[in-house]
Amino acid sequence: MRGFWGARQESAKAVADKLVAFTARLDGVVGERVSWTTRDMRSLADPLEFEQVVAAAFDENTDAPHLGASQFYDGSAKGLEAASIGMVVGGYSDSGNVKNSIVVKIRSADVERFGAAVLRAVVSEWDPDWGDVTSSSLMRALADAQPRGKPIPKMGYMTYLSEARAQALPDGLEKHLQRLDNGGVVIGSNEKDGFLTAATATELAELLRSSAAFAATPASSSKL
């Protein structure tokens, strides 16, 4: 589950507050408390500890603060085989090199039930320009329809588009759209877990790659 956005300067405190709120929402999605640690095994048990490690990440990023601070956290819970959060946040340069993002990885026997809820949590707490639920196998399957590495939206099992992107979608996609209160949309299926098949995702990727809805995020703003 991923979210991406452009230039958006944020303080360490603001990022820490979002991270606390986001991990609390993940607890609700998983149905139990997820314990988080830094890569050097520091346990994050309360908001103050989150604030301290986020502040440290910002303080260490002295060479290129305009490109954002990178952070990685590992999660564990009884119902999960593994979980992690990787983030680059607070980047504010308009050079086009800023790639603010959050990537949530969850490995579980029934990971499909988490996809839609985690994507909505990403949207609610991080306000991305676009985001998706995907996997390595799906990205390989769609490699010809949407080459990896280009800084543009990608089709996944589910794909979120912010309001301006949603307004630029071509007609005829209503059966695939879930409209959100913030004006954005989630492109998915009407099946129980909301996931598109690889074949349908490929069709939509080919249809939308030349659409204004799938244009690159502007260098000077956080969203299209």
**pLDDT-wise least confident of 16-30, 77-91, 101-115, 116-130:** 101-115
pLDDT over threshold 80, residue 23: yes
pLDDT over threshold 80, residue 137: yes
| pLDDT given at position 88 | 96
pLDDT over threshold 90, residue 61: no
| pLDDT given at position 18 | 98
Q: In the predicted model, what is the mean pLDDT of residues 189-216?
A: 91
For helices 12-30 and 115-126, give the axis angle rounded to 10 degrees.
Answer: 160
CA distances, 13 to each of 49, 52, 78, 117, 178 (Å): 11, 9, 30, 25, 32
Q: In the predicted model, what is the mean pLDDT of residues 201-221?
A: 93
Which SS3 state, helix, strand or coil, does residue 198 take? helix
Euclidean distance between the first and final Cα of the chain, in Å? 20
Q: In the predicted model, what is the mean pLDDT of residues 101-124?
A: 90
Q: In the predicted model, what is the mean pLDDT of residues 19-41?
A: 96
Task: For residue 48, give every residue at least 6 positions away whose Cβ sits within 8 Å of its Cβ, in sequence order, or none.
Answer: none
Neighbours of 81 (CB within 10 A): 11
| pLDDT given at position 79 | 87
pLDDT over threshold 80, residue 192: no
| pLDDT given at position 33 | 95
Q: In the predicted model, what is the mean pLDDT of residues 27-55?
A: 95
